[in-house]
Amino acid sequence: MKKLWKFAAVVTTTALIATACGDDDGGSSDTTAAGSDSVPAVEADIKVAVVYIGVPDDKGWTYQHEDGIVQLEEALGIEVKRVENVPEGPESEEVMAGLARDGYDLIFATSFGYGLPMNKVALANPDKCFQWATGAKFLIEADNQEVAPNIGTYFGSAEEARYLSGMAAGAASPTGKLGYVAAFPIPEVIRGINAFTLGAQSVNPDATVQVVWTETWFDPAKEKEAAESLLAAGADVLGMHQDTTATGLAADAAGAKWVGYNSDMSETAPNAWLTAPVWNWGPYYIETATRWAEGECRNDEYYGTMATGMVTLGSFGSSVSADIQEQITAKAEEFASETAVPFTGPINKQDGSEAVAAGSVLDHKVIDGDNLFALLGMSYFVEGVIGNAS
């Protein structure tokens, strides 16, 4: 999977961006779906399963997906099969093939590395429906596989909430030295770090963000070690792209501040807590299952935003001043109304070269066949980030 991640970091992402904004093979990409408050009444004669990379009580990535699955169960009156702690790669293919054999006809897979195995299972089970979180169909094509017509992908613009949380972090740092505990150097994580940095610099122009890679999504011990190394290097506020609360606990023990990820983790370390990007998967799960119950397998590449409600911001900690809260709220309203985007030029790369020209923006709606640095394939760090983006 690392080879694919490297490919995703440098490939032109025009096709992905285009399908994020339009239909694919007849599938719908209604961008209001994730924010819908109403659910059609259906006879949910379907069997649904979800494959988790971790466990629901991680208070992070899987925890928030579990919240969405519970919303689905309550909305449609069904029971969803969970399979936890499934490694990415061949083992996940065996798990998903087993679910299909057992009669589960709608299967959600909640991690990037499940995509190629899921596609193989989908091709072998054309009467069933498969949904891949954080995925991209061009990666299936790059592996010389036929893309199954019964597979869809879903993710969202975490970069919007990352920027907002960066504002809170930049304002909270007396030194301007921020740290970031990050899982893998793939576009999803890189653009989050960049958005966090730009948000911090919007309120603290001299802010820097030092990155430490853990090479794992879920490992509390490694996450804690990385966090402590950043604190020892002088960081007084930590951000993270990890699945547990270990970074926050380390920050709290050192008297530092912390921006979480995935869910509102404020109860874990309230003294350190600033805020966090938070996912709202429930509406997507409900609509996708509703469509399947009505006979439609969505095969679009859905990319939710703050406007659709898939991406939100967690609660503010007590140390986030009223003035900064007001600034963050105002910027959040701009993102939600789509009058602003996090990556608005001029923006330079880490080496000083131009990334986004003055007057230009980079978002999921931009289609430019000559642009190798499109949002969804971002492979570089912006100025102010300390570390290697590979």
| pLDDT score, position 26 | 34
CATH 3.10.180.10 assigned to 158-278+311-386? no
| pLDDT score, position 73 | 97
Render pLDDT for 31-51 as a digit per residue (tens, 0 to 9). 334 444 444 455 568 999 999
For residue 298, pLDDT beyond 60: yes
**Rounded alpha-carbon distances, angstroms, from residue 179 to 226, 313, 347, 384:** 10, 20, 21, 11
Please indicate whether the domains covering 2-157+280-304 and 158-278+311-386 agree at the CATH topology level. yes
- 199 token code pair: 């948000």
- What pTM was computed for the model? 0.86
| pLDDT score, position 9 | 37
Q: How far apart are CA 255 and CA 271, in angstroms?
A: 8
Average pLDDT estimate for 239-265: 97
Average pLDDT estimate for 45-60: 92
Residue spans per domain, the chain? 2-157+280-304, 158-278+311-386
Query: Assign residue 262 a region: left if phi > 0, alpha if psi is -120 to 50, beta otherwise?
Result: left
**Homologous superfamily assigned to 2-157+280-304:** Response regulator (3.40.50.2300)
How big, in percent rounded to 5, are the helix, strand and coil portions of the chain? 40, 20, 45
User: Which residue type occupies 237?
Assistant: V
| pLDDT score, position 5 | 39
Q: How far apart are CA 162 and CA 179, in angstroms?
A: 14
Render pLDDT for 175-206 as a digit per residue (tens, 0 to 9). 999 999 999 999 899 999 999 999 999 999 99
**Rounded alpha-carbon distances, angstroms, from residue 284 to 135, 153, 163, 336:** 15, 11, 23, 18
Q: What percent of the chain has pLDDT over 90?
A: 79
Q: How far apart are CA 81 and CA 195, in angstroms?
A: 35
